[in-house]
Amino acid sequence: MTNMNTLLEQMTLEEKIFQLMQLTPNFLSEDDANLTGPLAWMGVTENMVNNAGSVLSAVGAKETMALQKKYMENSRLGIPLLFMADIIHGYRTIFPVTLAIGSTWDLELAEKSAAIAAKESAVTGIHVTFAPMVDLVRDPRWGRVMESTGEDPYLNSEYARAFVRGFQGEDLAGDLDRVAACVKHFAAYGAAEGGRDYNTVNMSERQLRESYLPAYKAALDEGCEMVMTAFNTVDGIPATGNKWLMRNLLRDEWGFDGMLISDWGAVGEMIPHGVAADGAEAAQKAIEAGVDMEMMTSHYANHLKELVEAGKVDVKLIDESVLRILKLKEKLGLFENPYRAASEEREKEVLLSGEHRAAAREVAAKSFVLLKNEQALPLRSGQKLALIGPFAESGDILGPWSIWGKQEEAVQLHAGLAARLGADIVAVAKGCEIESATEEQLREAVAAASEADVIVLALGESSEMSGEAGSRGDIRLPQAQLDLIGRLKPLGKPIVVVLFNGRPLDLHGVIEEADALLEVWFPGTEGGNAIADVLLGDVNPSGRLTMSFPYSVGQVPVYYNNYNTGRPLTPQNASERYVSKYLDMPNTPLLPFGYGLSYTTFSYSGISLSTDVLNAEDTLHVSVDVTNTGTAAGEEVVQLYVRDMAGEVVRPLKELKGFRKLLLQPGETKTVTFAVTEEQLRYYHADLQLKSDAGEFQVFVGANSRDAESKPFRLVK
Ligand code: GLC
Domain boundary assignment for the chain:
87-346, 359-535, 602-715
What is the CA(133)–ligand 1 centre distance, in A? 10
Cβ neighbors of 547 (< 8 A, separation 6 or more) are 99, 137, 138, 140, 145, 148, 150, 151, 503, 504, 559, 593
Check pLDDT > 70 for residue 33.
Answer: no
Ligand 1: residue of 263, 402, 468, 471 to mutate (most ligand atoms within 8 A of CB) is 263
pLDDT band of residue 25 (cuts 50, 70, 90) is confident
What is the CA(189)–ligand 1 centre distance, in A? 12
| Least confident piece of the model among 47-51, 174-178, 243-247, 267-271 | 47-51
Q: What angle (nearest 5°) sits at the alpha carbon of residue 115, between those of residues 114 and 121?
A: 85
Calculate mean pLDDT across residues 256-284. Answer: 98
Which atom of ligand 1 approaches the CA of 57 most closely?
12
What is the CA(61)–ligand 1 centre distance, in A? 22
| CA-atom Rg of the chain in angstroms | 26
Nearest CA, atom 7, ligand 1: 264
Which atom of ligand 1 approaches the CA of 231 most closely?
8
- Dist CA 561 CA 375 (whole Å): 32
Check pLDDT > 80 for residue 34.
Answer: no
Q: What is the pLDDT of residue 44?
A: 87
Average pLDDT, the chain: 97
Q: Which of 546, 676, 562 is nearest to 609 (CA)?
A: 676
Cβ neighbors of 41 (< 8 A, separation 6 or more) are none
What is the CA(264)–ligand 1 centre distance, in A? 6
Q: Are 125 and 339 in contact (CB under 8 A)?
A: yes
Q: Are 168 and 564 in contact (CB under 8 A)?
A: no
Ligand 1: residue of 86, 216, 227, 240 to mutate (most ligand atoms within 8 A of CB) is 86
Q: What is the pLDDT of residue 1?
A: 58
Check pLDDT > 80 for residue 371.
Answer: yes
Calculate mean pLDDT across residues 186-202. Answer: 98
**What is the pairing mode between strands 237-238 and 233-234?**
antiparallel
**pTM for this model (two decimals):** 0.98
Calculate mean pLDDT across residues 451-478. Answer: 98
Nearest CA, atom 10, ligand 1: 130
Calculate mean pLDDT across residues 294-298. Answer: 95
Q: Are 701 and 608 in contact (CB under 8 A)?
A: no
What is the CA(689)–ligand 1 centre distance, in A? 34
Ligand 1: residue of 269, 401, 468, 471 to mutate (most ligand atoms within 8 A of CB) is 468
Q: What is the pLDDT of residue 29?
A: 77
Calculate mean pLDDT across residues 342-347. Answer: 98
Check pLDDT > 80 for residue 560.
Answer: yes
Task: Judge whether 359-535 and 602-715 match in fold.
Answer: no
Q: What is the pLDDT of residue 37?
A: 64
Which atom of ligand 1 approaches the CA of 189 most closely?
8
Calculate mean pLDDT across residues 648-669. Answer: 98
Pick the CATH number of 359-535 from 3.30.450.90, 3.40.50.1700, 1.10.357.10, 2.60.40.2250: 3.40.50.1700
Q: Name the class of domain 87-346.
A: alpha beta
Q: How many residues does the chain have?
A: 717
- Dist CA 415 CA 518 (whole Å): 18
As beta bridge partners, residue 696 has 714
Q: What is the pLDDT of residue 41?
A: 76
Q: What angle (nearest 5°) sits at the alpha carbon of residue 130, between those of residues 124 and 131?
A: 110
- Helix (H) / strand (E) element for 546: namely none
- Dist CA 262 CA 250 (whole Å): 14
Q: Name the class of domain 602-715.
A: mainly beta
| Residue 323 main-chain phi, psi, to 5 deg | -65, -40
pLDDT band of residue 27 (cuts 50, 70, 90) is confident
Clarify whether 612 is annotated catalytic.
no
Calculate mean pLDDT across residues 76-105. Answer: 98
Q: What is the pLDDT of residue 28?
A: 81
Check pLDDT > 80 for residue 35.
Answer: no
- Dist CA 216 CA 256 (whole Å): 11
Q: What is the pLDDT of residue 42?
A: 83
What is the CA(262)–ligand 1 centre distance, in A? 9
Q: In what order do the strands lie in the sheet with 708-716?
A: 613-615, 708-716, 695-702, 634-644, 655-664
- Dist CA 249 CA 321 (whole Å): 17
Ligand 1: residue of 259, 264, 466 to mutate (most ligand atoms within 8 A of CB) is 264
Give 53-114 as a 3 state SS string.
CEEECCCHHHHHHHHHHHHHHHCCCCCCCEEEECCCCCCCCCCCCHHHHHCCCCHHHHHHHH
Neighbours of 123 (CB within 10 A): 26
Q: What type of residue is 61?
A: A
Query: For the purposes of burial, counting CB atoms within 10 Å of the CB of 196, is it exposed (0-12), middle (13-18) or buried (19 or more)?
Result: middle
Nearest CA, atom 3, ligand 1: 263
| Least confident piece of the model among 33-47, 250-264, 289-303, 422-436 | 33-47
Q: Which residues line ligand 1 (CB under 6 A)?
A: 86, 130, 184, 263-264, 468
pLDDT band of residue 217 (cuts 50, 70, 90) is very high
Which atom of ligand 1 approaches the CA of 133 most closely?
9
The greatest distance separating any two alpha carbons of the chain, rounded to the nearest whole angstrom, comes to: 80
Which residue in 135, 263, 292, 424 is the catalytic one? 263
Q: What is the pLDDT of residue 299?
A: 97
- Dist CA 620 CA 606 (whole Å): 16
What is the CA(280)–ligand 1 centre distance, in A? 23
Q: Are 137 and 190 in contact (CB under 8 A)?
A: yes
**3-class SS of residue 438:** coil
Which atom of ligand 1 approaches the CA of 296 most closely?
6
For 675-690, what is each residue's pLDDT tens digit? 999 999 999 999 999 9
- Dist CA 525 CA 362 (whole Å): 11
Calculate mean pLDDT across residues 27-31. Answer: 73
pLDDT band of residue 36 (cuts 50, 70, 90) is low
pLDDT band of residue 663 (cuts 50, 70, 90) is very high
Given phi > 0 = left and psi -120 to 50 = alpha, else beta, which region is 472?
Answer: beta
Q: What is the pLDDT of residue 31?
A: 59
- Dist CA 557 CA 141 (whole Å): 9
Nearest CA, atom 8, ligand 1: 263
Calculate mean pLDDT across residues 411-423. Answer: 94
Calculate mean pLDDT across residues 206-232. Answer: 98
Calculate mean pLDDT across residues 462-469. Answer: 98
Q: What angle (nearest 5°) sits at the alpha carbon of residue 683, between those of residues 682 and 684?
A: 140
Which atom of ligand 1 approaches the CA of 264 most closely?
11
- Dist CA 322 CA 337 (whole Å): 20
What is the CA(110)–ligand 1 centre distance, in A? 21
